Amino acid sequence: MLHLLSHKFEHRKVPDHILGDGKILDIGCGRSKLEGAIGLDHVQFPGVDIVADLNQPLPIEDATFDAVHADQVLEHVDNLVGLIYEVHRILKPGGVFLATVPYFRSAWAYIDPTHVRCFTLYSMNYYVKGTREYEYYRFQDEAFSSVEIFLDSTFPSTTSRKVFSSLALRNPVKFENSILSSLYPFQHLSFLLRKGESE
């Protein structure tokens, strides 16, 4: 039975080295900047290369970076819409944006008093061409070309995690609006957004 489940269900994880070897910006890096990246934060912590307010336009030229990384940052940002478009602007064509945030069912989404929002599986669809949210409710025409979603990517691939993450990713609306999302609350989710090659 477990053998059959392992073929039917999958715990998808963020691929190793997805950020590549190019020029990487680590926004909200704090004291834990990614090795080899340029670090950006609103405080001049050791290792921070650029001090900037994430709620304002970033002091970076267009199409500067191959990848942008944000780990547990977006939930703190008041002007999320503005920041997403700024990330799109500073990415080179074909660049990637990897953002990890607390999942809306997780206690971690609420424990920090500086969190200003929660995230569901469709939260980034407003910024991705081809999604219903982009087609009907987009804020600007600029958009990423695709999005991939990963649940609890850094956690072990248990049988229950394989089953529930597969169910969630196959039908996010049905999963998140059912008791299933409360029975198995994921801790975090990661969005991998790609900028189109022709932009």
Say yes or no to pLDDT of 134 above 90: yes
- What local confidence, expressed as pLDDT, does residue 161 receive? 95
Handedness of CA 46, 50, 52, 58 (dihedral sign): negative
Domains of the chain: 2-194 (3.40.50.150)
User: Could you tell me how far CA 21 lies from the centroid of its own chain?
Assistant: 19
- What local confidence, expressed as pLDDT, does residue 199 receive? 72
Q: Measuring CA to CA, how many Å separate 2 from each of 46, 183, 184?
A: 47, 20, 19
- What local confidence, expressed as pLDDT, does residue 198 receive? 83
Note whether 183 and 175 are within 8 A (CB).
Answer: no
Q: What percent of the chain has pLDDT over 90?
A: 92
Alpha helix (H) ranges present in 91-158? 108-111, 132-137
- What is the SS3 assignment for 81? helix
Average pLDDT, the chain: 94
Say yes or no to pLDDT of 189 above 70: yes
- What is the SS3 assignment for 162? helix
The identity of residue 131, as a single letter, is T
Note whether 198 and 93 are within 8 A (CB).
Answer: yes
Q: What is the pLDDT of residues 43-90, one digit of tens each?
A: 999 989 999 999 999 999 999 999 999 999 999 999 999 999 999 999
- What local confidence, expressed as pLDDT, does residue 7 receive? 53
Note whether 25 and 52 are within 8 A (CB).
Answer: no
Kindly state the average pLDDT of the residues 185-191: 96
Q: What is the pLDDT of residues 146-182, one digit of tens each?
A: 999 999 999 999 999 999 999 999 999 999 999 999 9
User: Could you tell me how far CA 177 lies from the centroid of its own chain?
Assistant: 21
Give residue 121's pLDDT band: very low, low, confident or very high (50, 70, 90): very high
Note whether 73 and 115 are within 8 A (CB).
Answer: no
Integer-rounded Cα radius of gyration of the chain: 17
